[in-house]
Structure 1
Amino acid sequence: MATTASTRRQFLTLLGLSAAAVSCGTATGASSRKGQTKTLRYQGWAGQVTLPELAEDLGYLGDVKLEWVGNTISGPQDIQSAATGQVDFGGAFNGAVVKLAANGAPVKAVISYYGSDKYAHNGFYVLKDSPIRSAMDLIGKKVGMNTLGAHSEAMLDIYLRRAGLSRADIGKVEPLVVPPVNTEQTLRRKQIDVAVLGGILRDKALAAGGIRPLFTDYQLLGAFSAGTYVMTDRFLKQNPGTARAFVTGVGKAIEWARSTPHDEVVARMTDIVKKRGRNEDTGPLRYWRSFGVAETAGRITDKELQLWIDWLAERGDIKKGQVTLSDLYTNQFNDAGNADAAAPSAASSSPTSGS
């Protein structure tokens, strides 16, 4: 397994995309087709239903269709794929979005898609009998998370710094990449000391017992939108109607999930997973509670990105003034922010209806 330092360098290299690479990649993508594309290529998450998938099933994307090209467990990888034209949109932690833009990738955040609230948050969990009780106890310990350089590592860094650990001691805490579906098991086998768990996987693990939280991102920062979907500037310029349909549809899906009874949302998601036929376990879906998006219909605010601009600059990952906040995001394609995002019509509201 690579060391933490070498793995982090690999991540920074991953986001160090040259303008030429991004330009070439995008030129071969859907945005170069004649006319506005009506098909959006994307990566999913195994056993989960993303907001675009929910929006499509609810009929909120209109004549825009999604084309699944595979799964990912990494937000930074997902937005890199969007920047190079391998997919048409990708989503990641806002700090990773800032980092990508700082490295010259012509991408723009268009809508928030996940966040932290009292129901939807990531926690750093240890076994119930673990001696780890404080930030100081993490020195020399292994922390399993889905990817490096993203949400979980940022939260870990903030937690350790607030506890007063020196940069040298923080460097002795070892973040490791563990696939989300394996994280709970890896913790219980004591192959890692701390497991970052969120959403349905967190609640499933808690229901099984034997673990306790060290801290959560909700405790650290309160309720906030944490990640955004991005599209390239070229895609937005060449496909404004498609981008509007996508962003508005996802915004409506956010509000549908927020206002619809829990059991109905879970039933809808379960049906979506069953219909796509990828041999996925639908059991954990019953633990879903919220997408955690703070603002109405996923509209992006300055503070959600400024927080990470400041954090990255303080760490020395980007230079002060290297990123202009107004260039990072736009809400211009989100008509759902001021529109009625009510439940779909009776013809499309049945959990067994097609997309």
Structure 2
Amino acid sequence: MSKLTSLANRRQFLTLMGLSAAAVGCGTALGSGGSDKGRTKTVRYQGWAGTVTLPELAEDLGYLQDVKLKWVGNTISGPQDIQSAATGQIDVGGAFNGAVVKLASRNAKIKAVISYYGVDARAYNGYYVLDDSPIRSARGLVGKKVGMNTLGAHAEAMLDIYLKRQGLSQADIGKVEPLALPPVNTEESLRQKQIEVAVLGGVLRDRALATGGIRPLFTDYRLLGAFSAGTYVMTDRFLEQNPDTARTFVTAVARAIEWARVRPREEVIARMTEIVEKRGRNEDTAPLKYWQSFGVAETAGRVTDKELQLWIDWLGDRGDIPKGQVTASKLYTNEFNAYRPSSGSPSGAATSSSQSGS
């Protein structure tokens, strides 16, 4: 178990729901190494087992130039990842935008700098029922259990929006029971009828569909169309002390997004498989063959007001944050994203075929 994961387990009280303003408001991120002024050419981050993150892809493609990534362990969740960034344990963390909004509402001195995942026709979460289920509409979910990876995040938000758009009263919505389950167990729980609906995405969705016997009630893509759903964040202090490093990092991630968008899917999968094999962490590469898309909606992952306003409104309606407390435009910056779609090669980026992966 990594040092960060162990620390996260010892600090269960520092969940997104109750992260203290004192802990995140102090701006403790100093960067790792560098000069006495805190400047650094190293970006500390957490990964995901068996997965290639966009920064890791960008590094392999040569886009990070003289900036180095330092892997400090794997994260246990998006909220934990951005908490670690806010408290200075790492330099960049990523999470669902609702988690970013909530953390900012606790006076965390952070900025979203680039979108890194989202929803599109290939990358989406489906809300699946058994083929013989009587559930055919939102009304059928009243009194039923919906299994999802975690509560208070993307999956629950999509469920709430769906129920409201289908005209259910708040009282009836309260009778629908979201239930947190380990993702690897969600399909089995559905088939054993321990839950009535399973939220499945990515590899787990594709495997379940290949097995058969389930059908979608709705998907987040059908509900809202294509949209970016999560962002990488850095602390204000890191951005102020290390603007050049931040610009190189963010622009590299932007280039990796566009590289993956235009390359054949098989080429992207092959590249990510090589990355996992080279890092030697005894990880299973088989799930990578199910990769479809990062789902980032905007060119180069640029962040927009609408992507954050959706969650500001949702959290305000739930009473999780005071209405009017958070302003979308203050939560992010595109200042460090130097990607230019007209050229495809931002100023100062690696351009040779050996470095760029082109």
Task: Give the structure-2-normalised TM-score.
Answer: 0.87
The Cα shift of 1:27 comes to 4.9
| C-alpha separation in 2, matches of 1:11 and 1:340 | 47
Larger CA deviation: 296-305 vs 174-183: 174-183
Q: Is contact 2:16-2:99 (8 Å) kept? A: no
Could you list the per-position Cα deviations for residues 45-76 of structure 1 after superposition, in whole angstroms to 9, with x for gaps in the alignment?
22221111111111111122222222234222
Match of 1:277 in 2: 280
Cα pair distance change 1:264/1:143, threshold 3 Å: same
Q: Which piece of structure 1 moves more, 227-236 or 83-92?
A: 83-92
Q: Alpha-carbon deviation of 1:150? A: 1.1
- Out of 334, 346, 354, the residue aligned to residue 353 of structure 2 is 346
- Bigger mean CA offset, 251-260 vs 190-199: 190-199
Query: What is residue 82 of structure 2 aligned with on the other side?
Result: 79
Deviates more, 1:152-161 or 1:64-73: 64-73
CA contact (8 A) 1:102 1:322 kept: yes
Structural mapping, 1:4-15, within 5 Å: 14-15=16-17
Q: Does 1:236 align with 2:242?
A: no
Deviation at 1:345, TM superposition (A): 4.0
RMSD across aligned C-alpha pairs, in angstroms?
2.5
CA displacement at 1:350 relative to structure 2: 6.9
Native 8 Å contact 1:253 1:341 kept in 2: no
Question: Is the contact made by 1:55 and 1:252 (CA closer than 8 Å) also made in structure 2?
Answer: yes
1:6 aligned partner: none
Could you report, residue by residue, the CA deviation over 1:198-220 in whole angstroms, capped at 9, with x for unpaired residues? 22332232222222111101111
Matches within 5 A, 1:87-236: 87-236=90-239
**Structure 1 unpaired stretches of 5+:** 1-9
Residue type of the partner of 2:304?
T
Give the match for residue 46 of structure 1.
Answer: 49
Partners of 2:274 and 2:136 in 1: how far apart? 41
Change (3 A) 1:302 1:33: same
Aligned to 1:16: 18
- Distance across 1 between alignment mates of 2:150 and 2:87: 20
The letter of the residue matching 1:146 is N
- 1:197 alignment partner, SS class: strand
Deviation at 1:349, TM superposition (A): 6.5
Which range is displaced more, 51-60 or 178-187?
A: 178-187
Tell me, in whole angstroms, the C-alpha distance in 1 between the residues paired with 2:20 and 2:31.
17
**Cα-to-partner distance string for 1:126-182 (whole Å, 9 max, x where unaligned):** 222223222222223222222221111100110111122222222222222223333
Query: Is the 2:123–2:292 contact (alpha carbons within 8 Å) kept by the matching residues of 1?
Result: yes
Give secondary structure in 1 for the equivalent of 2:339: helix
Aligned-residue offset at 1:101: 0.7
1:222-301 equivalences under 5 Å are 222-301=225-304
CA contact (8 A) 2:33 2:40 kept: yes
Amino acid at match of 2:316: A
SS of 1:347 mapped into structure 2: helix
Q: Which amino acid aligns with 2:20?
A: S
Task: Find the aligned partners of 1:259 and 1:47 in 2 and give their Cα distance.
Answer: 23
Map of 2:309 onto structure 1: 306
2:155/2:199 contact within 8 Å kept? yes
Deviation, structure 1 residue 28: 6.6
Change in 2 beyond 3 A, CA 1:14/1:300: closer
CA change 1:12–1:99 in 2 (3 A) is farther
- For 2:74 and 2:352, the matched residues in 1 are separated by 30
- Is contact 2:121-2:226 (8 Å) kept? yes
Residues 127 and 188, structure 1, Cα contact 8 Å, conserved in 2: yes
Is contact 2:63-2:356 (8 Å) kept? no
Cα distance in 1 for partners of 2:33, 2:171 equals: 45
Return the offset for 1:332. 0.2
The letter of the residue matching 2:246 is: A
Checking the alignment, whether the CA contact within 8 Å between 1:18 and 1:105 is kept in structure 2 is no
Q: 2:322 aligns to what SS in structure 1?
A: coil
Q: 1:11 to 1:20 in 2, by over 3 A?
A: closer
TM-score scaled by length of structure 1: 0.88
> For the residues of structure 1 that align with 2:131 and 2:43, how far apart are their CA atoms?
44
Percent identity over the alignment? 77
Pick closer, same or farther for the CA change 1:310–1:210 going to 2, 3 Å: same
Aligned pairs, how many? 342
Q: CA deviation at 1:286?
A: 1.4
Indicate how the Cα distance of structure 1 residues 185 and 25 shifts in structure 2: closer, same or farther if over 3 A, else same.
farther
